[in-house]
Each structure stands twice: as structure tokens, then as C-alpha cells.
Amino acid sequence: MKFKAAIFDVDGVIIDTAHIHHLAWEEVFKNYGINKFTFRDFKLKIDGMPREMAVKKIIPRAQKADIEKMSSGKQKFFEYFLKKEKVKVFGCTVRLIKKLKKSGYKVGMASSSRNAKPILKKLGIYGLFDADAEGAYVKKGKPFPDIFLRAARRLRVRPGECVVFEDAKAGLVAAKKAGMKSVGVARKRAHELKSADIVIRDMNKVTAGKLKKLFR
């Protein structure tokens, strides 16, 4: 199949709010007896997952009422820290998106966070995308493939014609299950994303030509 579309995860790939998500979860888990939840714990265990799945991952015995309470609390803490912390935009990713669109490729976003859309709108980036998977509302989040399959449908391309940009292990697993090519965006621990078709540290070095080679 030919390369026709690129699908981008948001946090860690387009913007950097991972530290804010971590701070929010850290506060939530403290109330449930987990006094040490490091940023590494966040990245390896729940990064990229919808809130409900994240709660079950860390506290498997959590009941429905607690899951809802913790998910709601996480959102409140996220909004609190978002006002205090700066959101970093990865300009190299934005430039790549613009280049791909200019070359005629479709571009979609696939985030599990309900906060992705409003943040990207505020930053003036949301309008760059041809489709938004609205991943927070799929029944099964990453590592299930639903979010990327939904993105492909909205882009009107076949899964095998897509390449996914991800910085989380759960997202790469989801991309593979969806039958898509994947690029692991590893600005730090590259070995943790070794399941990707290619792993890159510098988005400036990614070109449409390099992506097309993945489909040969």
C-alpha cells in the first residue's frame, strides 16, 4: 500500500503537557495511598491511556464509583496545574505537519485526552488537521487500536496507508494492532519505543520521502 496519511498523537509529539498530566495523577493517587508515583511510572504505565483505563492499571481493584471520582479529580488537578505550568509546543512537529499537508498527504490527530482539542485550539494548531479521532470517546483506548482506526475512517483512508507518530508504548501497540506503520518519537529513552518501525529523536530529520520508504 502507498503512504497517504499521517496520524499524530498529541502530548509528547505536538505539545508537551506530560509533566502536567503526571502532576495531576500524582495528586489523585496520593489520596488513595500511593505516595510515590514518579514521572517514569507515568510514562511507562499509563501515558496515552484514557483516564478510566489508567485508574484500573494502577489500582486494579478500584470500583466504578472510585474510578469516576478519580477520573473527575484528575481533570480538576490537570486544569489547576495547567494554569501554573507552561505548555511547550514542538515547532519541529508543527513544521512537519505543514510540509506533509503541502505535499498532499492527509493529517489527523489521535489523542486519548479530552484536553487535547481545547489546548490545540488555544495555541492555533487545531486547524491544521484534516480529522480528529476524538480518542477520549472511543470505547477502548490505547493500547487497543480503536482510536487509530477511527482516525483512518475520518481521514477516508485505509489503515495500511497510515503512519502513526507516537511517544508512548501503549500508542505504538495500538498502531501495530491497527495495521499501521509507526514512528516512535523518542526525545529521551529511545529503547522504550523499540517496537516502532523507526525511532527518531529529531523530528526535523523526518521527510515524506523517509516515510514513503516504510511502505515499500
Q: Which residues are catalytic?
A: 9, 11
Strands 15-16 and 88-89: antiparallel
> Which of 26, 8, 49, 14 is CA-nearest to residue 183?
8
Name residues whose C-beta falls within 8 Å of residue 153's C-beta, 6 or more positions apart in sequence: none
Cβ partners under 8 Å of residue 1, min gap 6: 158, 160, 161, 215
Other CB atoms within 10 A of residue 34 CB: 14
